Structure 1
Amino acid sequence: MDSDKDSRFIPVNDTCNMLEMTLSFPEQLEEAYQIAEKQELIKINHIPSSIATIGMGGSGICGNIVATSAIENIKMPVFSFRDYTVPEYIDDKCLVFAISYSGNTIETLTSLKALLDRSLRNIIIISSGGILEQVSQKFNLPHIKIPAGRPPRASLGYLLIPIIVSLGKLGLFNRYEDTIKEVIKEVEALRTDVNADIPVENNIAKDVAIQIKGKLPIVYGTGEAMGVVAERWAGQFQENAKVLTFNRTFPELCHNQAIGWEDASGITDKCVVISLEGEWEKGAKVEQRGALLDIVKGKGIPVLHINITGDGGLPAIIRAIYLGDFISIYLSALNNVDPCSIGGINSVKERIAPYIDKLNLLS
């Protein structure tokens, strides 16, 4: 390290090497691409009328990222379901991705059972194993198996890239190979700028971590692209840095939270707003954002403006997500917490574990 000061940003209690996994994200993307390219996919007799993903947490957000990318790369509706149910309008004309890093996520398994019970078979499964892999074998469904032994939130590349490659190989995602190359190029450049060796005065990730330490972060994203990034940042701050975080999206929040800020007494010294601002955003949306943030600033609440470069496509989204990942790791170090521990999530999973057996997916 360049200085003792910067050593504060290295997690002391990093039981799963989360920092190293974050640093190796560009290589993860490349490996995920190679894994997915080798996978033999289902034969489809007709072009799907829509695409759907089912998944939760670090797996589920992949569907939202793909749906956001649909504006530029996909010419059909994309639905992301993150619950126990899937609507009846998801039928055999829809191509479905069932995604769970462990392969044992109860919400994903329950949704998948509903689809199988409706005789749907246009399903591609992505997991590191688990019950999903066994289901793929039982029903002869394509299974893209990804490396095991990692936290799902540190496996975004393994979970996301196979969706894009699968769609590309089926002719449903324009320029998928070039897009993935652009994504890798963007995250490699960001890693150079914000890795652990770059001192805080030249490192936006470390600087933001310092400014939000001890605060309640509220992450705002402008538009769908930055909205999904805001959700990822909030999730990473909570899981890695153990900091309660909220997220909202412009312009929707202007229609409700503008009033919520009117009486912010008692919390102004606790909150910090992070505004993710794509340089491609123009016009009324930007004016709305400025008006709302003026209200926030008027209450004495600090606002961090984070400029996101690019055109709002997948490379810009993944680069912005990657920046949030670094911030969350550096914040975990400042908070002296293990970025890997997820005691609360595990306690919830233990409570609902008996319900998985009741699904009888393999009987």
Structure 2
Amino acid sequence: MASFQTIDPDKMYKSIYEFPDHMTAAIKIGESISLNKQYPDIKNVVVAGMGGSAIGGDVVRILVKNEIEIPMVVSRNYTLPHWVNNHTLVICSSYSGNTEETLAAFEDARNKGAQIVGISTGGILTERMHDLELEVVAIPSGLQPRAALAISFVPMMYLLKAIGIIGDKTVNQLMNAAALIKENRNQYSEESNGNPTYALAQRIYKTIPVIYGETESTAIVAVRWKGQLSENAKMLAYYNELPEMNHNEIVGWENNQELIHQLSVIWLKDQNDHPRTNIRQETTQKIIGDLSEHQEVVVIEGNATVERYLHMIHFGDWVSYWCAILHETDPTPVKKIDQLKKILSKKS
């Protein structure tokens, strides 16, 4: 097999390796946020975004869930929920600033009278918001959107703090999380069996991974793993969450066994999982048994939830990278997305 440097000419390796550095840089951006407007009487928050920008909203939502006291949702659509109104803070997050769904959601937010802020590197979104004298948090360009996760979610968290929706509790844990990830990234970046991310990639790269996590917890990390396996490794991957999958999907592990055997199951577990979820996971793992190619359990140790979740995301990013390398596939290009955008641009 060719060296990973040859397979990865655009250096996705570097982008993943520098995730904790991106966090540190994003913390500085967050600390420098100074708002000129007031955002009074906010009763709910909607993050409008797609892809890497949307997962940034998901990450914020799950990290601040024990601190935020109003509902926060992520909208991946052209339109926003019907209940959005002048008491809603809509954060339009688009790394490029040109995401068509987010631009449409921005107009919908205006029509619904929402209070709007943006996070972007520029593009049409920034131009429109500046024209309307709306505030935009500027973030640095130059990355693939999926590799800019830290650049998206950290300023969003600080934005919520600046508006008064959250306090210091969660943001104060970000620097420690970055330091922890730095301690592990050298091991994860080695093309060797001693690297647990490379070893896991070797076991799953010829399968279709199905990733299970707990609702409102590791299920968000599972969404990230699925997206990274699809975009970086160019592999189909799927996710679902416990306990919901125990009420339907579990029954599907029966017929088409020759196909099921091509699946691998990855269980994402955290020490804060509900005790009943732990029992469900262990029992479901036994029920599935050897129907799948194999089953993997990923657990990240650590004292703080923020550290564990972000570490697990980084772990999964490396798994997706090594799957790409094992397939001898350049992880950076997303040709089918580019093809789709080209076709859509002619149909607008």
Structure 1-normalised TM-score? 0.90
Structure 1 unaligned blocks of 5 or more: 1-6, 357-363
Name the counterpart of 1:359: none
Amino acid at match of 2:17: L
Amino acid at match of 2:282: G
Deviates more, 1:10-19 or 1:128-137: 10-19
Change (3 A) 1:282 1:8: farther
Secondary structure of 1:119's match? coil
1:163 aligns with 2:193: no
Shift in Å, 1:39: 2.9
1:270 aligns with 2:262: yes
Secondary structure of 1:221's match? strand
User: Which of 221, 226, 230 is equivalent to 1:229?
Assistant: 221
Deviates more, 1:278-287 or 1:158-167: 278-287
User: Which of 295, 299, 310 is equivalent to 1:303?
Assistant: 295
Cα RMSD of the aligned pairs, angstroms, is 1.9
Aligned residue-pair number:
347
1:133 aligns with 2:126: yes
Q: Distance in 2 between matches of 1:90 and 1:354?
A: 31
Deviates more, 1:338-347 or 1:268-277: 268-277
Shift in Å, 1:352: 2.1
Structure 2 unaligned blocks of 5 or more: none
Secondary structure of 1:338's match? coil
User: Which of 294, 312, 324 is equivalent to 1:320?
Assistant: 312
Name the counterpart of 1:243: 235
Change (3 A) 1:294 1:312: farther
Shift in Å, 1:62: 1.5
Amino acid at match of 1:133: T
Q: Distance in 2 between matches of 1:215 and 1:297?
A: 16
Name the counterpart of 2:68: 74
Amino acid at match of 1:317: Y
Equivalent residue runs for 1:186-201 within 5 Å: 186-196=180-190, 199-201=192-194
Q: Distance in 1 between matches of 2:326 and 2:78?
A: 37
Equivalent residue runs for 1:1-363 within 5 Å: 10-44=4-38, 46-120=40-114, 122-175=115-168, 176-196=170-190, 199-201=192-194, 203-310=195-302, 313-354=305-346
Change (3 A) 1:47 1:22: same
Secondary structure of 1:157's match? helix
Amino acid at match of 1:200: N
Secondary structure of 1:211's match? helix
Deviates more, 1:84-93 or 1:299-308: 299-308
Change (3 A) 1:206 1:9: farther
Q: Distance in 2 between matches of 1:211 and 1:351?
A: 36
Shift in Å, 1:298: 4.2
Is the contact between residue 220 and residue 275 of structure 1 (CA under 8 Å) also seen in structure 2? yes
Name the counterpart of 1:360: none
Secondary structure of 1:74's match? coil
Q: Distance in 2 between matches of 1:155 and 1:48?
A: 28
Secondary structure of 2:253's match? helix
Shift in Å, 1:330: 1.2
Amino acid at match of 1:84: Y
Q: Distance in 1 between matches of 2:2 and 2:239?
A: 27
Residues 218-251 of structure 1 show CA distances to partners (whole Å, capped at 9, x for unaligned) of 1111232210101100110110011111111111
Q: Distance in 2 between matches of 1:124 and 1:264?
A: 48
Shift in Å, 1:306: 0.8
Shift in Å, 1:66: 1.9
Q: Distance in 1 between matches of 2:29 and 2:347?
A: 32
